[in-house]
Structure 1
């Protein structure tokens, strides 16, 4: 909240961006195969505010779909931040079951899609924020791959990394 106020924003976020990232987990007790990315490991489902600060993280095996992993994120956001009303997501989250749950929890989910005519890389509005947060995570060498056996330890490492990032931002404005 202090960092948001320092940036000239409201202390409490009113919107969030959700996404997931598949990472290799060579020594994990539980891991799955993400066929789309061809990764054996875990999947990080995160929600960030519109400036990229981590709000919620959920780790699953990599074979869990984005929309299934996001359902836990929706529950957590509603409990911790009841004032968040708007969510931004990519096309993987445009599933009927997830949209029904989002409307039940009083969220407005805006799916931001790439254009069919788009060739190459193009920055998508609102979506780049969560990708930047993944980049901040990867700067911590221990998070390049998931080296932890247990999911709760891996989740704690993500929270430590993002907490360190927030401390650095507040110590050196």
Structure 2
């Protein structure tokens, strides 16, 4: 994750790369990475005396991909040809859900499925926070279907400024950008790309645990 090396270029002190990849693939399909991260998140929340998440923050980021990737599109606003990743974090910075898809789909449309999955997984969530990209369809869905609240953050002024609460999800993206494996999507499958993000968060969460 950190160095971004190819499977075939793994250090010699590891088992053969085929064996390592086979275990990685099996754990992908079995949901091991998501389960491991959820357990670590639970342990970290208890250390902060916050048993369950009640407020969640969402944001997206467009990333370039290799030509053979599944689900690849062009984000016209950011001029990026690749994929978009949505993440939802709680108020202590834990990753609650991640979704990866082609970059040419509007946030307010794809956000619907992300909100629904997060609400199903964490019934304790009472409200979400998102930027202006989630106005419209996403707001209507969250309020009418999920019976929750989606707070839309707006810019305080036309220059860079730290937005209350939303800096948590921006910080998470900054942490993820420190992993070379995530700087550009080289994973063919979107499910693999999502698990790569979870693995990075496993490492980050382990470092935060007391």
Q: Scaled by the length of structure 2, what TM-score is found? A: 0.76
Aligned to 2:194: 155
1:133 aligns with 2:172: yes
Consecutive unaligned residues in structure 1, runs of 5 or more: none
2:138 to 90, 98, 110: 98
CA distance in structure 2 between the partners assigned to 1:29 and 1:90 by the alignment? 27
Looking at structure 2, the residues matched to 123 and 48 of structure 1 have their Cα atoms a distance apart, in angstroms, of 17
Larger helix fraction of residues? 2
CA distance, structure 2, for counterparts of residue 94 and residue 119 of structure 1 = 19
Give the number of the structure whose alpha-carbon radius of gyration is greater: 2
More strand by share: 1
SS of 1:142's partner is helix
Structure 2 Cα separation of the partners of residues 92 and 119 of structure 1: 16
Indicate which of 122, 126, 149 corresponds to 1:108: 149
String of CA shifts for 1:59-106, please: whole Å, max 9, x gaps: 1100011111211111111211011011011111111x2222101202
Aligned partner of 2:93 among 36, 45, 52: 52
Distance 2:114 2:158 in 1: 32
TM-score, normalization by structure 1: 0.92
Specify every segment of 5 or more residues in structure 2 that has no aligned partner in the other structure, as ranges.
1-41
1:146 corresponds to 2:185: yes
Corresponding residue for 2:83?
A: 42
Q: Which residue number corresponds to residue 118 of structure 2?
A: 77
Name the residue aligned to 2:5: none
Inter-partner Cα distance in structure 2 for 1:52 and 1:153: 22
Aligned length: 167
The root-mean-square deviation of aligned C-alpha atoms, in Å, is: 1.2
Q: Whole-Å Cα distance in 2 between the matches of residues 88 and 73 of structure 1? A: 13
Q: Distance in 2 between matches of 1:19 and 1:51?
A: 16
- Tell me which residue corresponds to 1:87: 128
Deviation at residue 11 of structure 1 after TM alignment:
1.2
| Corresponding position of 2:21 | none
